[in-house]
Structures are given as C-alpha cells and as structure tokens.
C-alpha cells in the first residue's frame, strides 16, 4: 500500500489564493481553491491501492463549499499540519505519516493541481518500484508532487527555500546528493495567478475547477 498524502488548507475567504485578489474577490478566490481541492480529493480517492491522508490546516466549517469539502475529507485520514513555515510543515507531514504507516511509501501532492488524474497518481506510486524518489516539477519552477520510497527522506525539504523559481531543482539536487535515485513526472501548472487559472482549467475540462474558472472569467 502507498500513502497518498495531500497538503491542504481549508479554503477560507481571505486566507487562500490571495494572489488572485484582485481582480477576484476573497470569496471567489476561496471558491476556486475549494473546487480545486474537491477535484484533487476525488482523483486521490479514485486511485487504486492507496491510503488517502490529508494534512490539513484551517477550519473547514468556515470554508467555501465547506459541507462538500467535509464530505470529501470523510473518505480520508485527516491529520493536522504542524511546524514553523511551509517547508517545516511539509517535512513534518511526511514524518507523521511514517509513524502512522511504518514502512509504506508516500506520494505527496498539494491542492493546487486539480488537473491530476488517478492514472497520473498511480504512475507516481509505481515509479518507486525502480527509483527512490519521483518528483513532479511545476511550470513556475516549483513542484507539484514528490513520491518517496522512504518518507523520512523528506527531511531534506527543511533546508530548501520555498516559492522560488529554483525550488524544484533544489529538491532534486538535494535528493541526489543524499544518494537517492530520482525519477520524473510530467510538469504541471499549479495555480498562483489568473493566467494559471485559465491554463489549469483548459487542462482539466469538466472539473469543478474548470466550472468555477468559467464563472470567474464571465465576471472579469
């Protein structure tokens, strides 16, 4: 069994996707985040042979589409995020999963790539049959997925600055320097800007995210 770990924030207006504000309103930005999270969780839960785990920050009760998000989370094991800063929280999430599921590999993604599919997530997991880590870089230089045969290897994340144009490459180099063989996943766009919204919506037609993007575009 592979653990499929999602790092997520409750999509509360004013607290998520603030880079889209303006022209999107806080509620519109949070609704896009909620749609993306729902699409992500649907893909995760439809992936065979995995245990869905969500490391969650924030209060779902205050979130956009809160009832739908709570229902989707009910099919996952939910743990709290802990740590100081994003890198620390990421590494701690892997560490917590390693304790809860000893000996199991972990595929970790965020909530910013609603275009993910069960076959793509399954490919990330199966890639660990031949390498120690599988990394999916993002188009902006970050990363959208990291699969580790040994989740304790995620300790390297604590030393790498986040939200930079070279963050993904730094992760790859850190893993290689630690002696790991690293495979690759296709590059995807995550959602940080309105241009990203349109790009991801085009890559994921028929999703909740694409529908929310269409409504936002109609208001612009």
pLDDT of residue 1: 84
pLDDT of residue 129: 94
Burial of 16 (0-12, 13-18, 19+ CB in 10 A): buried
User: What pTM, to 2 d.p., does this model score?
Assistant: 0.95
pLDDT digits (tens, 9 = 90+) for 178-188: 999 999 999 99
Whether 217 shows a pLDDT value over 90: the answer reads no
Is the distance from CB of 108 to CB of 85 less than 8 angstroms?
no
Task: Return the structure tokens found at 160.
Answer: 């790498």
pLDDT digits (tens, 9 = 90+) for 31-73: 999 999 999 999 999 999 999 999 999 999 999 999 999 999 9
Average pLDDT over residues 109-137: 96
Beta carbons within 10 angstroms of residue 38's beta carbon: 23
Whether 78 shows a pLDDT value over 80: the answer reads yes
Average pLDDT over residues 168-194: 95
Is the distance from CB of 106 to CB of 147 less than 8 angstroms?
yes
What is the Cα–Cα distance from 144 to 40, expressed in whole angstroms? 12
């Amino acid at each position: 069994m592979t653990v499929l770990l999602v790092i997520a924030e409750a999509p509360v207006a004013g607290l998520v996707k603030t880079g889209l504000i303006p022209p999107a309103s806080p509620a519109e930005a949070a609704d896009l985040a909620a749609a993306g999270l729902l699409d992500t969780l649907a893909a995760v839960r439809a992936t065979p042979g995995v245990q869905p785990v969500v490391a969650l920050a924030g209060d779902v009760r205050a979130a956009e589409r809160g009832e739908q998000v709570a229902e989707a989370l009910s099919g996952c094991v939910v743990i709290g995020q802990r740590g100081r800063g994003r890198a620390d929280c990421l590494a701690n999430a892997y560490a917590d999963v390693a304790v809860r599921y000893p000996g199991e590999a972990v595929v970790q993604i965020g909530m910013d790539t609603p275009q993910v599919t069960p076959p793509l997530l399954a490919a990330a997991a199966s890639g660990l049959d031949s390498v120690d880590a599988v990394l999916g870089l993002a188009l902006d230089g970050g990363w959208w997925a990291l699969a580790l045969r040994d989740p304790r290897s995620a300790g390297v994340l604590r030393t790498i600055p986040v939200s930079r144009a070279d963050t993904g490459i730094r992760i790859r180099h850190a893993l290689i320097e630690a002696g790991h063989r690293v495979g690759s996943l296709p590059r995807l766009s995550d959602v940080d800007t309105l241009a990203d919204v349109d790009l991801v919506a085009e890559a994921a037609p028929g999703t909740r995210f694409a529908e929310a993007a269409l409504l936002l575009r109609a208001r612009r």
